[in-house]
Amino acid sequence: MLAFIGGTGLTRMDNLRIIRRQAISTRFGDPSAAVVEGELDGQNVLFLARHGDPHVLLPHQVNYRANMTALKEAGATAIVAVNAVGGITAQAPTGALVLPDQIIDYTWGREMTLFDDPAEPLVHVDFSWPFDSALRNGLKEKLAASELKWNDGGCYAATQGPRLETAAEIIRLERDGCDIVGMTGMPEAVLARELALPYAMLSLVVNPAAGKSSHEITMAEIEAVIHDGMANVCRVLTDFAGGYTA
């Protein structure tokens, strides 16, 4: 079953006809919220609010291992994750959607693997290409048919948060080859790989990254972009779910 993970600005999908809510407890603890099963454009899908419902968890407080394990146990066979991000390069203007194809992890102190039990074998997964090509191609098809601003490809920088980055840090990230910056892409993406769950990311650019505009970044501006942008994201996800085949 296709699953969606909602980030900042996407705590619920209003057009999702809810069938049931599953309170799943995992060996890693409880997920951020109940796993919601519902119908979206004729397809049964799962939905999980990454930051809780209501939004209460900071990026470094999210129990990513519990979230991903709960989705797997609920029947997820593929995941599309939504993220609100800052735009670093010209290919990621504010309001655009980005389908990243690479990721660099700058986080620290997070539980990064499911394979940390000394009584079980250690597993090293291949993470050369973090995002599933079939999911990305399906999303590209829907985006290409829309009139939205979007970009195919780009590198996502996963930073620790919850503060926004300094201008110097953004210069460093750009020098490293990053196009967008967020706080929730890791370890979520690699945990999906460990669970053998195809995973793709759909990122909404909600602000220019630090030093990329002539004025201070404000939450009011970010929230205004999120309000309109997440409505576009929901339309894309609905179209994608309607034509999705495992």
Per-residue tokens: 4: 């969606």
| Rounded Cα distance, 48 and 28, in Å | 16
Mean pLDDT of 74-89: 97
**Looking at the domain 2-242, which fold is it?**
Rossmann fold (3.40.50)
Q: Do the bridges between strand 17-22 and strand 35-40 make them parallel or antiparallel, or are there none, so unpaired?
A: antiparallel
pLDDT at 217 over 80: no
Among residues 8, 9, 5, the alpha carbon closest in space to that of 228 is found at 9
Report the DSSP beta bridge partners of residue 230: none
What pLDDT does 11 receive? 78
Q: What does the domain layout of the chain look like in residue ranges?
A: 2-242
pLDDT at 158 over 80: yes
Among residues 197, 242, 238, 231, the alpha carbon closest in space to that of 9 is found at 231
- Going by pLDDT thresholds of 50, 70 and 90, the confidence category of residue 45 is very high
pLDDT at 212 over 90: yes
pLDDT at 103 over 90: yes
Which residues make up each annotated binding site for substrate?
Answer: 183, 207-209
202 against 55, higher pLDDT = 202
Taking all residues of the chain, what is their mean pLDDT, rounded to a whole number?
94
Among residues 165, 179, 25, the alpha carbon closest in space to that of 93 is found at 179
Mean pLDDT of 151-179: 97
Per-residue tokens: 73: 């146990």
Which residues make up each annotated binding site?
Answer: 8, 50-51, 183-184, 207-209
What pLDDT does 56 receive? 92
Which residues make up each annotated binding site for phosphate?
Answer: 8, 50-51, 184
26, 227 Cβ separation under 8 angstroms: no
What pLDDT does 9 receive? 76
With H, G, I as helix, E, B as strand and everything else as coil, classify residue 195. coil
| Main-chain dihedrals φ then ψ at residue 51, nearest 5 degrees | -100, 10
